[in-house]
Amino acid sequence: MPPAVELKGSPASPGVASGPLVRVGRVLELARVAGAPGQERQALKAAIRQAIAGLNALIARIGEDGAEIVAFQIAMLEDNELSRPAWEAIDTGTPADVAWKAAVDVQIADYRASEDDYFRARAADLRDLRDRVVVHLTGDGSEVVPAGAVLVGEDVTPSRFLETDWTSGGGIVLTGGSSSSHVAILARARGVPMVVAVGEADFDGHCAAIVDGASGRVVLSPDDETVARFAVIARDADERARREADYLDRPAVTADGTPVAVLINVAGPDDLAAIDAATCDGIGLMRTEFLFRDGAALPDEETQYQVYCQLLDWAGSKPVTIRTLDAGGDKPISGLTPVGETNTFLGVRGIRLSLLREDVFRPQLRALARAAAGGNLKVMWPMVTSPGEIDRAAALFEEELAALTAAGIAFARPRLGMMVEVPAPAIAPDLYGAAEFFSIGSNDLIQYVAAAARDNGGVAALAGEVIPVIERLVAGLAAYGRERGIEVSLCGELAGETAHIPALLRSGLASLSVAPAALARVKAAVAGVNLGA
């Protein structure tokens, strides 16, 4: 084992993880352990089938020009002429991935050698389809990733995170990345230790790592003493978590007896599996964009309806607030979000995109209205900038309700509220009176107020410096809410940061929605605040 190496990065998600080190972002370099030719043959057949299925799903969502090239890739994958050398190699004992790569590389070389620009360009498509099949052969990394592994690399995509099984432990170490990125939010929600921005590091030869998410420390190839030291840290963290867990089953109340509603933020029914509905006051935010995950087909009305119903069933009589599709910005979805914007954070995203894409928005509205008949549903619009957007969205909603009535389909009218994340409504909430409730999206609000991107390590620190300003805006919004008699809550990451809870509660906020993993510590923090003092 090589000597231990200590790395220092930024904390992104607390907790200690210790396990085998697995490099990510390099799936294509991982080799497959070959089975018998019969197995390899089966594996390649299945991988090609999966690749074709993935491409067919893509075609269903993209414009005509893109579809032409995807159709070409599908035709190539279906052509036995392409895979023939692979089958022959497999019969002589070659692993499926090596055989496949060699077969396609022959074609790639042929296209590359062409004098025609067009054919040379097609070499890129061949590389694309070659790699797509290889990813399926190496099991998307999940077959090669042992339980409890520490994933290490430049970055980890949200879909990679969601596909990984974290139940036996594991952690993430990134050379780049940011603690306010989407993957970091997911890691905190699931309680997966994560450290970002450790900088350039040489991971070659290291097979094990310890990650201490709270301090940002990482140790590669730790010696026994180091392992013991971190075991103590982990034990202390567990102790603290056990104390906080005492608060989990009780409603959150401040030291002076003021009740505070604590709800949870989720991306879908999967997030609810490990949570007892009795430990929270409802779902304060369901992020529907994870239903529209990049690479899968856009979900239809029926699919969405089923998912929304699952959430409402789980919550019983407790409120469930679902946010309509918030795509764009750092959440691109191919075939839906605009391409080529120079500044996606200030571009066509959230409600702006939905109002432009009624073909996607209306099915979502219908699914929500139908689901509302079965539970306590609230719906909110993301990224509202102008009162006109609220009016237009509500009008579209009414049109769909009329259509449902005409079709004799059961529905109910949920309360329609809005996210406060664009600075405009945070500064002048009284101009947005058409909204029936407000939920403060502190993640984006902080970015816009500080004019600093959360995925830019160079300015990330500015976010912390405008918190006092945010608290002032929160106070203004809470006061407006009391005056008008409407609910104001906060569903951004800020609500889960125990250091800020006292100030938020003093601002007059009485409703927080947090990552499920933060429930216990948030309730514990609420109990420690005395508003009368």
Partner 1 sequence: MSEALITVLMVHEVGLHARPSVKLTKLAKGFSSQIEMAVAAEGPWIDAKSIVKVMATKAPKDTVLHFRARGDDAQAAVQALADLVASDFEEAKRDAARG
Active site residues: 182, 491
Q: How far is the CB of 45 from partner 1 (least distance, A)?
A: 18
Taking the least distance from each CB to partner 1, the nearer of 120 and 472 is: 120
Q: How many CB atoms lie within 10 A of CB 356?
A: 12
Segment contacting partner 1 (CB under 8 A): 17-25, 79-87, 421-429, 483-491?
79-87
Q: How far is the CB of 108 from partner 1 (least distance, A)?
A: 12
Of these, 1, 28, 57, 71, which contacts partner 1 (CB under 8 A)? Answer: 71
If the CB atoms of residues 122 and 206 are measured against partner 1, the closer one turns out to be 122
CB nearer partner 1, residue 122 or residue 366: 122
- 116/495 Cα distance (integer angstroms): 58
Rg (CA), the chain: 25
Piece of 73-81, 308-316, 376-384, 460-468 that binds partner 1 (CB under 8 A): 73-81
Task: Give Cβ neighbours of residue 250 (< 8 Å, ≥ 6 apart).
Answer: 523
Query: Given the complex with partner 1, which of 59 and 412 has the nearer CB atom?
Result: 59
Contact with partner 1 (CB under 8 A) among 8, 26, 79, 102? 79
Minimal distance in Å, beta carbon 62 to partner 1?
Answer: 15
What is the enclosing helix (H) or strand (E) of 151?
Answer: strand 150-153
- From the list 495, 20, 470, the residue with the least C-alpha distance to 252 is 495
Tell which residue, 486, 475, 386, 391, has the closest CA to residue 438.
486
Least distance between partner 1 and beta carbon 286 (Å) = 39
* CA pair distance 418, 393, nearest whole angstrom: 11
Q: How far is the CB of 72 from partner 1 (least distance, A)?
A: 4
The least distance separating partner 1 from the CB of residue 79, rounded to whole angstroms, comes to: 5
Task: Name the DSSP letter for residue 526.
Answer: H
Place of tokens 């929270």: 280
CA angle 472, 475, 478 (to 5 degrees): 155
Instruction: Name residues contacting partner 1, limited to 378-407 (CB under 8 A).
Output: none
Query: What is the distance between the alpha carbons of residues 277 and 373, in angstroms, rounded to a whole number?
Result: 20
Tokens matching residue 261: 């509603």
Determine, following the binding rule CB under 8 A, whether residue 68 of this chain makes contact with partner 1: yes
**How far is the C-alpha of 134 from the C-alpha of 469, rounded, in Å?**
50
Which x/- pattern over 125-164 shows residues binding partner 1 (rule: CB under 8 A)? x---------------------------------------
Distance from C-alpha of 247 to C-alpha of 164, rounded to nearest angstrom:
30
Of 111 and 437, the one with the shorter C-beta distance to partner 1 is 111
Shorter beta-carbon distance to partner 1: residue 78 or 238? 78
Name which of 125 and 301 has its Cβ closer to partner 1. 125
Interface characters, 93-132, with partner 1 (x: CB under 8 A):
--------------x--x---x-x-xx--x--x-------
Q: Write out the E strands in 467-515.
A: 488-490, 511-514
Do 490 and 511 form a contact (C-beta atoms < 8 A)?
A: yes
Calpha distance 272→181 (Å, rounded): 22
Cβ contact 296:57 at 8 Å: yes
Question: Which CB sits closer to partner 1, 116 or 359?
Answer: 116
Tell me, what DSSP letter sits at residue 313? Answer: H
Report the site for partner 1 in 11-40 (rule: CB under 8 A): none
- Which of these ranges, 23-31, 64-72, 294-302, 306-314, lies near partner 1 under the rule CB under 8 A? 64-72
- Smallest distance, partner 1 to C-beta of residue 88, A: 15
How far apart are the C-alpha atoms of 101 and 322, rounded to whole Å?
45
Identified binder of partner 1 from the candidate list 46, 69, 253, 403, rule CB under 8 A: 69
Read out DSSP for 138-172? TGGGTTTS-TT-EEEES---HHHHHHS--TT--EE
C-alpha–C-alpha distance, residues 268 and 323, integer Å: 12
Is the CB of residue 439 less than 8 Å from the CB of residue 284? yes
Size of the site for partner 1 (CB under 8 A): 19
Whether the CB-CB separation of 152 and 24 falls below 8 Å is answered with yes
Specify the stretch interacting with partner 1 by CB under 8 A; choose among 74-82, 226-234, 419-427, 497-505.
Answer: 74-82
Q: Rounded to the nearest whole angstrom, what is the least distance from the CB of residue 51 to partner 1 in the complex?
A: 15
Report the residue from 81, 200, 225, 359 that binds partner 1 according to the rule CB under 8 A: 81
Note the residues at the interface with partner 1 (CB under 8 A): 68-69, 71-72, 75-76, 78-82, 107, 110, 114, 116, 118-119, 122, 125
